[in-house]
Amino acid sequence: MSTATTVAPEPRAATPLNYLNVEYGWRSWLFTKDHKRIALLYLISITFYFFIGGAFAVLMRIHLIDPQGALVQPETYNKLFTMHGIIMIFFFLIPSIPSVLGNFLVPLMIGARDLAFPRLNLLSWYIYMLGGAFTMYSVIHGGVDTGWTFYTPYSSTYANSQVIPAALGIFITGFSSILTGLNFIVTIHKMRAPGMTWFRMPLFLWSMYATSIIFVLGTPVLAIALFLLFLERVFQVGIFTPALGGDPLLFQHLFWFYSHPAVYIMILPAMGVISEIVPCFSRKRIFGYKVIGFSSVAIAVLSFLVWGHHMFVTGQSIYTGLVFSALSFMVAIPSAIKVFNWTATLYKGSISYDAPMLYALGFIGLFTMGGLTGLFLASLSTDVQLNGTYFIVAHFHYIMVGGAVMGYLGGMHYWWPKISGRLYPEIWARLAAAIIFVGFNLTFFPQFMLGYLGMPRRYAFYPAEFQFLNVMSSAGASILGVGYLIPLIYFAWSMRYGPIAGPNPWGATGLEWQTPSPPPKDNFEQPPAVADEAYDYAHQEVGLV
């Protein structure tokens, strides 16, 4: 596989027409219906939000270097962690892999010319941008301090910040998720190329399908919760606010009915990416194809049945708690199945450590840690102890950053040659992957310890004895920040100066690698047909195809 990095740039004779150079001008982008261009619009937008959300995190970590708080007032600190959460979850993590890689790859992987509804696809990006505008409005006009969960009565009686525009922003953005999910489901059902049966589909598509189910069935429930919150605020009637006769637990139920599955919206697509990368860089057929595919669907289904584990300490009945605890443990089964299958794929594979593979291996380790610590929180008694501490913060960052962001970056590196037609600089990419891995663990592992020792989350101050671990965490965050900036620079650089990638630099299977890079506007020069299973690496010559 290392041959991939030594491909000499070919002389640029007449460049063939592809989706990037077929049209020029801002209109050809802002009114495009090409799924590949829409994916790039999403890529630019979510990258913007990633760095905004990251900036809030940096400010928080600087603040927490000093036990008394080094930087901001406590009210401002509340706004920092709220805006960090809202932007990272709703405007970066949820759309990241589905809207960028999914948009780009779903039609390519099934051998279609586009998604089933290209106009809805473009509309979803505009809706996303509109929602983002509302949220940015709330950021500029003072921010929100409720936490990303908008719990009532923080967000109602005691709200003293821009709750309405922020909630509206998330409400609106939800519809872009719904449209994306709808588009993917229909496309995967109806637009597969001849011979592309369900069990020949790349596993990335299974995970996109499972994610889309959550998009379509979960997002509207969040929408209605935020809509009711909005009405309650505007008309001063009691739906969630106890003082007005409402029930705050109703809000939490509706909120988590979406927001627990939302965790799987973030992690399932990353799992799909890993299922593509691991066999390619092990040169092996994936172990347990069907089990991995079905485990994605199982995770999507189970995700709707476990929301009560966020409410163990809110006064729901002990029997409800027991049921939710047991169901939450069950999610571990399909998740572990995936990890075992990836590991079994690695076994006796001829592994190469290109950057995508580094991210994939990082994902497997970090996701395992995040998943196993989740079991602490699914148990009633330990959850009572750990709920509301940094243990939770560390746990979900291992899933969302160690899992989802690693998967996203791995996927971006893996498919960048297809997206841009250029190779990124492999040395820098490996270096960045290593920096991110180290920075990540240094940032978040101390937070496990802090939480275990009892440091509560969401406070602007902490006892002096926790300072050492907090400084470690802040130091890690600065390393992590540098690690994230490097790919931004070399991806941008490679668009102009990177070596020409050729159609299949990784020697990978899959229809997307059988068309030129970047692909032509209609994806394939000839209509593709499929005769083999996915990941048929055993029968393939190693090296370039």
Partner 1 sequence: MSEAHSGRIHIAHQFESSDQQHEAGTLGIWIFLATEVMFFGGLFTGYALDRWLYYPAFAAASRILDIRLGAINTAVLLTSSFTMALSVRAAQTAKRGALALLLILTMLLGAVFLGIKGFEYYQKFVEHVVPSLDFAPQGEVLARLAPGGLGHAQLFFCFYFFMTGLHALHMIVGLGLLFVLLLRALGSEFNAGYYAPVEVTGLYWHFVDIIWIFLFPLLYLIGGRF
Q: Which does 426 bind (CB under 5 to 8 A by kind): Cu ion, partner 1, none?
A: none
Q: Which does 397 bind (CB under 5 to 8 A by kind): Cu ion, partner 1, none?
A: none
Spatial contact of 307 and 260, defined as CB atoms under 8 Å apart? yes
Q: Which does 223 bind (CB under 5 to 8 A by kind): Cu ion, partner 1, none?
A: partner 1
Q: Which does 283 bind (CB under 5 to 8 A by kind): Cu ion, partner 1, none?
A: none
Shortest distance, CB of residue 386 to partner 1, whole angstroms?
Answer: 29
Spatial contact of 202 and 514, defined as CB atoms under 8 Å apart? no
The residue among 265 and 436 lying less far from Cu ion, judged by its C-beta, is: 265
The residue among 412 and 511 lying less far from partner 1, judged by its C-beta, is: 511
Whole-number Å distance between alpha carbons of 277 and 279: 6
Q: Hey, what are 343's tokens?
A: 């590991």
CA atoms in the 13 A half-sphere facing the CB of 184: 32
Q: Which does 238 bind (CB under 5 to 8 A by kind): Cu ion, partner 1, none?
A: partner 1
The residue among 214 and 364 lying less far from partner 1, judged by its C-beta, is: 214
Residues 6 or more apart whose Cβ sits within 8 Å of residue 435: 479, 480, 482, 483, 486
- Asked if residue 253 binds Cu ion (CB under 5 A), the reply is no
Listed in sequence order, the DSSP H helices in 421-466 are: 426-453
Shortest distance, CB of residue 110 to partner 1, whole angstroms?
Answer: 12
Q: Which does 225 bind (CB under 5 to 8 A by kind): Cu ion, partner 1, none?
A: partner 1
Shortest distance, CB of residue 237 to partner 1, whole angstroms?
Answer: 5
Shortest distance, CB of residue 398 to Cu ion, whole angstroms?
Answer: 14
Q: Which does 260 bind (CB under 5 to 8 A by kind): partner 1, Cu ion, none?
A: Cu ion
CA atoms in the 13 A half-sphere facing the CB of 531: 0
CA-nearest of 268, 257, 244, 213 to 411 is 268
The residue among 162 and 183 lying less far from partner 1, judged by its C-beta, is: 183
Question: Which chain residues interact with partner 1 by CB under 8 A?
Answer: 107, 112-118, 178, 181-182, 185-187, 189-191, 216-221, 223-225, 228, 231, 235-239, 244-247, 250, 253-254, 257, 522
Shortest distance, CB of residue 528 to partner 1, whole angstroms?
Answer: 12
Q: Which does 522 bind (CB under 5 to 8 A by kind): Cu ion, partner 1, none?
A: partner 1
Whole-number Å distance between alpha carbons of 52 and 144: 15
- Determine the residue with CB nearest Cu ion: 260
Shortest distance, CB of residue 136 to partner 1, whole angstroms?
Answer: 26
| Number of shown-chain residues binding Cu ion (CB under 5 A) | 1
Q: Which does 336 bind (CB under 5 to 8 A by kind): partner 1, Cu ion, none?
A: none
Spatial contact of 289 and 345, defined as CB atoms under 8 Å apart? no
What is the residue type of 4?
Answer: A
Residue positions counted in the chain: 545
Spatial contact of 428 and 491, defined as CB atoms under 8 Å apart? no
The residue among 11 and 245 lying less far from partner 1, judged by its C-beta, is: 245
Q: Hey, what are 299's tokens?
A: 């995770």
Exposure class string for 52-85: b at 16+ Cβ within 10 A, else e: bbbebbbbbbebbebeebebbeeebbbbbbbbbb
| Other residues' Cβ atoms within 10 Å of the Cβ of residue 120 | 18
Binding mask 278-297 for Cu ion (x = CB under 5 A): --------------------
Shortest distance, CB of residue 173 to partner 1, whole angstroms?
Answer: 15
Shortest distance, CB of residue 116 to partner 1, whole angstroms?
Answer: 4
Whole-number Å distance between alpha carbons of 301 and 297: 6
The residue among 189 and 458 lying less far from Cu ion, judged by its C-beta, is: 458
Sign, CA dihedral 150-152-155-160, equals: negative
Q: Which does 244 bind (CB under 5 to 8 A by kind): partner 1, Cu ion, none?
A: partner 1
Spatial contact of 237 and 226, defined as CB atoms under 8 Å apart? no
The residue among 20 and 179 lying less far from partner 1, judged by its C-beta, is: 179
Which listed range, 108-116, 252-260, 437-445, 449-457, lies at the site for Cu ion (CB under 5 A)?
A: 252-260
The residue among 186 and 344 lying less far from partner 1, judged by its C-beta, is: 186
For tokens 């401002």, what's the residue?
Answer: 76
Whole-number Å distance between alpha carbons of 92 and 97: 9
How many Å separate Cα 512 from the centre of its chain?
A: 22
Whole-number Å distance between alpha carbons of 315 and 248: 11
The residue among 67 and 238 lying less far from partner 1, judged by its C-beta, is: 238
Shortest distance, CB of residue 260 to Cu ion, whole angstroms?
Answer: 4
CA-nearest of 269, 71, 244, 240 to 180 is 269
- Asked if residue 260 binds Cu ion (CB under 5 A), the reply is yes
Tell me 90's DSSP state: I
Coil vs helix vs strand at 286: coil
The residue among 43 and 214 lying less far from partner 1, judged by its C-beta, is: 214
Which listed range, 1-9, 37-45, 260-268, 499-507, lies at the site for Cu ion (CB under 5 A)?
A: 260-268
The residue among 132 and 261 lying less far from Cu ion, judged by its C-beta, is: 261
Interface contacts to Cu ion, rule CB under 5 A: 260
